[in-house]
Amino acid sequence: MQSLVSVDQLEVHFAVRTGFMQSMFGKETPVVRAVDGVSFELGKGEILCLAGESGSGKTTTGKAILRLVEPTGGKVLYEGEDVRSYNRLRLRAFRQEAQIIFQDPYESLNPRQTVFSTVAEPLEVNNLCRSLAEKEERVAQALVDAGLHNPRELFLRYPHELSGGQRQRLAIAGALVLDPKFIVADEPVSMLDLSIRAGILKLMVDLRDKKGIGYLFITHDLSLAWLVSDRIAIMYLGKIVELGSADKVIKEPLHPYTRALVSVIPTPRRKVITQQSLLKGETPDPVNVPAGCRFHPRCPEAKPRCREAVPLYREVRPGHFAACHLLDS
Ligand X SMILES: Nc1ncnc2c1ncn2[C@@H]1O[C@H](COP(=O)(O)OP(=O)(O)O)[C@@H](O)[C@H]1O
- Provide the binding-site residues for Mg ion, judged by CB under 5 A: 59
Nearer to ligand X, 57 or 165 (CB): 57
Decide if residue 7 touches ligand X (CB under 6 A). Answer: no
Q: Which of 5, 7, 46, 58 binds ligand X (CB under 6 A)?
A: 58
Distance, CA of 173 to CA of 150 (rounded, Å): 14
Partner from Mg ion, ligand X, none binding residue 14, C-beta < 5-8 Å depending on class: ligand X
DSSP state of 160: G
User: Residue 262 contacts by C-beta under 8 Å, 6 or more apart in sequence?
Assistant: 222, 250, 253
Q: Is 54 in the site for ligand X (CB under 6 A)?
A: yes
Among the residue ranges 51-59, 119-127, 152-160, 188-196, the one whose residues contact ligand X (CB under 6 A): 51-59
Question: Which of ligand X, Mg ion, none does residue 34 bind (CB under 5 to 8 Å by kind)?
Answer: ligand X
Site string for ligand X, 268-307 (x = CB under 6 A): ------------------x---------------------
Q: Which is nearer to Mg ion, 81 or 107 (CB)?
A: 107
How is the beta sheet containing 313-317 ordered, strand by strand?
98-101, 182-186, 214-219, 47-51, 231-236, 239-245, 320-323, 313-317
Count of residues engaged in binding ligand X, rule: CB under 6 A: 12
Decide whether 117 or 190 has the Cβ nearer to ligand X.
190
Helix, strand, coil shares, percent, the chain, to 5:
40, 25, 40
Distance (Å) of CA 147 to CA 144, 166, 199:
5, 9, 9
Q: Where are the beta strands (DSSP E) in the chain?
A: 3-15, 31-43, 47-51, 73-78, 81-82, 98-101, 182-186, 214-219, 231-236, 239-245, 313-317, 320-323
If one asks whether residue 188 binds ligand X (CB under 6 A), the answer comes out as no
Report the nearest approach of Mg ion to the CB of residue 186 (Å): 6
Measured distance CA(38)–CA(60) in Å, rounded: 11
Where on the phi/psi map is residue 55: left (φ > 0), alpha (ψ -120 to 50), or beta? left
Decide if residue 122 touches ligand X (CB under 6 A).
Answer: no
Please tell me the distance from the alpha carbon of residue 79 to that of residue 94, in angstroms, as a whole number: 10
* Length in residues, the chain: 329
Nearest-approach distance from CB 187 to ligand X, in angstroms: 8
Q: How many angstroms separate the CA atoms of 7 and 15, rounded?
A: 22
CB-wise, 14 or 158, nearer to ligand X? 14
Contact with ligand X (CB under 6 A): which of 4, 5, 10, 34? 34
CB of residue 35 vs ligand X: minimum separation in angstroms? 7
Q: Which is nearer to ligand X, 59 or 108 (CB)?
A: 59
Q: Indicate which single residue of 57, 151, 174, 311 sits in contact with ligand X (rule: CB under 6 A).
A: 57
Considering the rule CB under 6 A, would residue 60 count as an interface residue with ligand X?
Answer: yes
Kindly state whether residue 219 participates in binding ligand X, applying the rule CB under 6 A.
no
Q: Does 239 bind ligand X (CB under 6 A)?
A: no
Nearer to Mg ion, 59 or 108 (CB): 59
Q: Which does 286 bind (CB under 5 to 8 A by kind): ligand X, Mg ion, none?
A: ligand X
Distance separating alpha carbons of residues 175 and 226, to the nearest angstrom: 24
Residue partners of 187: CB distance under 8 A and separation at least 6? 102, 103, 218, 219, 220
Binding ligand X (rule: CB under 6 A), the pick from 14, 86, 155, 158 is 14
* 214 is a site residue for ligand X (CB under 6 A): no
